Amino acid sequence: MKSRTRGRDLLHRWEGNPVLTVEDVPFRANTVFNGTPMETDDGKVLLLIRVEGQQGYSLFALARSEDGLHFEVDPQPVMMPALEGPYAPYESNGIEDPRATKIDGTWYVVYCAAGNWGPRVALARTGDFESYERMGLISEPGNKDGVLFPRKIGGRYARLDRPIGQGVGSVWVSYSHDLMNWGDSEVVISPRGGFWDEYRIGASVPPIETPEGWLEIYHGVKMTSAGPIYRIGTVLMDLEDPSRVIKRSDAPILSPREDYERIGDVFNVCFACGAVLDQKGNMKIYYGAADTSICVATCTLDQLMTESF
C-alpha cells in the first residue's frame, strides 16, 4: 500500500488522549470538557476547564501541567456561576466554554453566561489564575463563542462572537475602546451549504497573528438525523479588517473519529477552546471531546497555514 503523506486529519491526536476526564476531577462532577490554556511566565500550562456538575450546570476549574500534556486539577473550582447580584439571572444555568487571551500582560477570559434569557458573552480577568474578576456581560442575549484578539486593531480591542440572525449563526467581529461597550459589528463567515460547516459555526481558539493574517481555528457543525457533528476548521482574516476573509479551509482539520470523540454525553463533538504555540511553531490545540473529556492535538503553524487551506 502506498504510504500516505497525510493521515485522516491534519491535526495529530496525542497518543495519551484524553488528557482529562471526570476521573481526574477531585470533586464530584458529571463531565469535564472545553478547556482553554494559559501559559505562565515560567513555562507551565494552566487549563481553565469547564466542569459540568452533576446538578447539570457548569463551572470552571483549573488544571496545571509542566508539559502541557499531563494535568492535575485543583481541589476546588475557581469560578462558580453567580448566585446573587447583577450577574445571577444571567448565569443561572451556568458558565461555559472559557477562552483565555493575554493582552498587554493581562489574562482575559471570555466565557458564555447561560441565563434566564439565553446565552450571553461575558468577560472576566485574572492575575493569579485562581481568582477571576468579572468585568461585564458584553453581548446581547443569544450570543456565544466569544474570543478576544490578542492585540488592539486600529486602536480598539476586537473580538469574534457568534450571534444568530434569521436562524443562521455566523461569526462576527466587533470593536471596543474599553472592553465593555461594543460596536461596528460586521459578519466574518457564515455556514456554507453542502459543507461540513453547513449548519452552525463559531469561533473557537482566540485568533493567532501570522504575517499573512489572523488565523482563526473555528468549529463547524453539520446536522444529521442522529444529531450534530462538531468539527474543527480554519479561516484566515485580514490583519487590519478581520471581516475580510483571505482563506477558509474547505475540509476540517479535525473530525470526531476516536471513541472518546464519538461517545459521550454529546456524540461526535470536537470543540477547541484554545491553543499554545511554542517558539518553533509547534502547536497544541486543546479540545473538548463528546462533551465528556478534554484532548490535545498537535501540528505546526506552518502546516496549518499551508495545508489547511
Partner 1 sequence: MPARKRRGAPRDLVHRFEGNPIISMQDLDFQCLDVRNAGVVRIGGEVLLLVTIEHLAGTQCFFLAREGSRGCWHLEPEPFMTPSSEGRFERHECKGIMDARITELEGVYYIFYLAFGETGYRLGLARTSDFKSVERLGLVSEPDTKGGALFPERIGGRYARLERPGEGRSIWVSYSDDLVHWGGHRHVIGPRGGYWDCHWIGPGAPPLAIDEGWLLVYYGAKQTSAGPIYRLGGVILDRGDPTRVVGRTNIPLLSPRERYERLGDLTNIVYSCGALLDADGTLTVYYGAADSCICKGTTTVADVVNRCTAGKETF
The footprint of partner 1 (CB under 8 A) covers 86, 89, 116-120, 136-143, 163-166, 168, 170, 172, 175-178, 180-187, 190
Q: How far is CA 12 from CA 9, 253, 261, 299, in A?
A: 7, 9, 14, 6
Would you say 172 or 230 has its CB closer to partner 1?
A: 172
CB of 227 to partner 1, least distance (A): 22
CB of 155 to partner 1, least distance (A): 13
Would you say 235 or 275 has its CB closer to partner 1?
A: 235
Would you say 169 or 207 has its CB closer to partner 1?
A: 169
CB of 185 to partner 1, least distance (A): 6
CB of 121 to partner 1, least distance (A): 10
Would you say 169 or 252 has its CB closer to partner 1?
A: 169
Kindly state the DSSP code that residue 223 receives in the 8-state scheme: E
Would you say 190 or 282 has its CB closer to partner 1?
A: 190
Residues 36, 46 contacting (CB under 8 angstroms)? no
Determine the 3-state secondary structure of 147 from DSSP.
strand
Distance, CA of 234 to CA of 227 (rounded, Å): 23
Place of cell 484524553: 18
Would you say 160 or 285 has its CB closer to partner 1?
A: 160
Q: How many CA atoms lie within 13 A of 38 on its CB side?
A: 27
Question: What residues contact 51, with CB distance under 8 A and at least 6 apart?
Answer: 25, 29, 31, 32, 58, 59, 60, 61, 77
Residues 270, 254 contacting (CB under 8 angstroms)? yes
CB of 182 to partner 1, least distance (A): 6
Would you say 185 or 300 has its CB closer to partner 1?
A: 185
CB of 38 to partner 1, least distance (A): 25
Would you say 81 or 274 has its CB closer to partner 1?
A: 81
Distance, CA of 6 to CA of 41 (rounded, Å): 35
CB of 120 to partner 1, least distance (A): 8
- The H-or-E segment that residue 133 falls in is strand 133-137
Phi-psi region of 162 (alpha: psi -120 to 50; beta: other; left: phi over 0): beta
**Does the CA dihedral 12-225-204-94 come out positive or negative?**
negative
- Candidates 134, 42, 22, 43; CA nearest to 85 is 134
CB of 161 to partner 1, least distance (A): 8
